[in-house]
Amino acid sequence: MYAFTLERPQALADVQKAVAAGGKPLAGGQTLLASMKLRLSAHEQLVDLGACAELRGIRREGDALVIGAMARHAEVGASDLVRSAYPALADLASRIGDRQVRQMGTIGGSVANNDPAACYPSAVLASGATVQTTKREIAADDFFQGLFTTALEEGELITAIRFPLPQQAAYEKLRQKASHFPLVGVFVARFAGNGVRVAITGAGNGVFRHAGLEAALSNSFTPEAAAGVAIDDSGLNSDLHATAAYRAHLIGVLAQRAVTKALG
């Protein structure tokens, strides 16, 4: 690890100032510190977001749930509010990684990092959520831009994520035994009047929506409708863990399971 300095401001205005001056935001460190230890990244100054109360908290705002960027996975998974208002989201959070990752990892860090196999981006995209930042509000459809790339600009911080509440939703994944990341994950969300949104993680260059599954499930929200959709494997990842054809197969199977789960 290269030498660095660490700041821990309490007020969001001071956090912003430190980040604008070139400081690298540090959330739970689950990705950032590991990459620094491996010398894959070097930052002279870290800005720890952990003392900033304005970045924490989970609250209901009308028909939406607003989750502060520094909400840890364990906190979201155990929150009575999330479990009652958006059980699929609590379920997703409670199954991320292992205990340590869930105690330290944050929703803001996960979404900003945009790992192509991360769980949260699928929930954000399938929910049609809004990413709230220190500068603006960004629709999920515009936020995720491929491999570890987002619409965030230099010095821009995620402050919270606003999730509209679906009528029914569920997340299903096949977990890699070694890393605990999903080999493929599928999040389905059904909204009153707005049809069904389906987001896939782990299968491509980044999280993406599946138009075929969305059309079929908007027409008939049943596992049979999902089973009838042909999943094209072109453009999907092929690596030592799975071929593109296997990932395509998993998308179909996990979509059926997610719909079954959402239907209760």
Judged by beta carbon, residue 175 or residue 249, the one nearer ligand FAD is: 175
Beta bridge partners of 138: 131
Judged by beta carbon, residue 111 or residue 225, the one nearer ligand FAD is: 111
Residue type, 46: L
Q: Scanning residues 182 to 221, which ones bind ligand FAD (CB under 6 A)?
A: none
Rounded CA separation 48/108 (Å): 13
Closest CB 138 distance from ligand FAD, rounded Å: 12
Q: Which residue is nearest to ligand FAD (CB)?
A: 109
Q: Tokens in use for 118?
A: 């991360």
Please identify which residue in 15, 18, 30, 174 interacts with ligand FAD, judged by CB under 6 A.
30
Residues 57-96, one symbol each (x = binds ligand FAD by CB under 6 A, - = not), give: ------------x---x----------------------x
| 23 near ligand FAD, rule: CB under 6 A | no
Residue type, 140: A
| 36 near ligand FAD, rule: CB under 6 A | no
Radius of gyration of the chain (CA): 18
Q: Scanning residues 90 to 149, which ones bind ligand FAD (CB under 6 A)?
A: 96-97, 101, 104-106, 108-110, 112-113, 118-120
| 158 near ligand FAD, rule: CB under 6 A | yes
| 27 near ligand FAD, rule: CB under 6 A | yes
| 16 near ligand FAD, rule: CB under 6 A | no
| 166 near ligand FAD, rule: CB under 6 A | no
Rounded CA separation 237/248 (Å): 9
Per CB under 6 A, which region of 10-18, 57-65, 177-185, 214-222 contacts ligand FAD? 177-185
Please identify which residue in 9, 15, 18, 28 interacts with ligand FAD, judged by CB under 6 A.
28
Query: What are the percentages of helix, strand and coil residues in the chain, rounded to 5?
Result: 35, 25, 40
Judged by beta carbon, residue 161 or residue 231, the one nearer ligand FAD is: 161
Please identify which residue in 15, 18, 32, 126 interacts with ligand FAD, judged by CB under 6 A.
32
From 224, 222, 229, select the one nearest 259 (Cα to Cα): 222
Beta bridge partners of 130: 139, 162
Give 133's contacts (C-beta < 8 A, 6+ positions apart): 152, 156, 157, 158, 159
How would you class 65 by CB atoms within 10 Å of its CB: exposed for 0-12, middle for 13-18, buried for 19 or more?
buried
* Total number of residues that touch ligand FAD (CB under 6 A): 32
Q: 10 Å Cβ neighbour count for 263?
A: 12
Q: Tokens in use for 216?
A: 């079929």
Say if CB 224 and CB 255 are below 8 A apart: no
Q: Scanning residues 221 to 260, which ones bind ligand FAD (CB under 6 A)?
A: none
Binding site for ligand FAD (CB under 6 A): 24-32, 49, 69, 73, 96-97, 101, 104-106, 108-110, 112-113, 118-120, 152, 157-158, 179-181
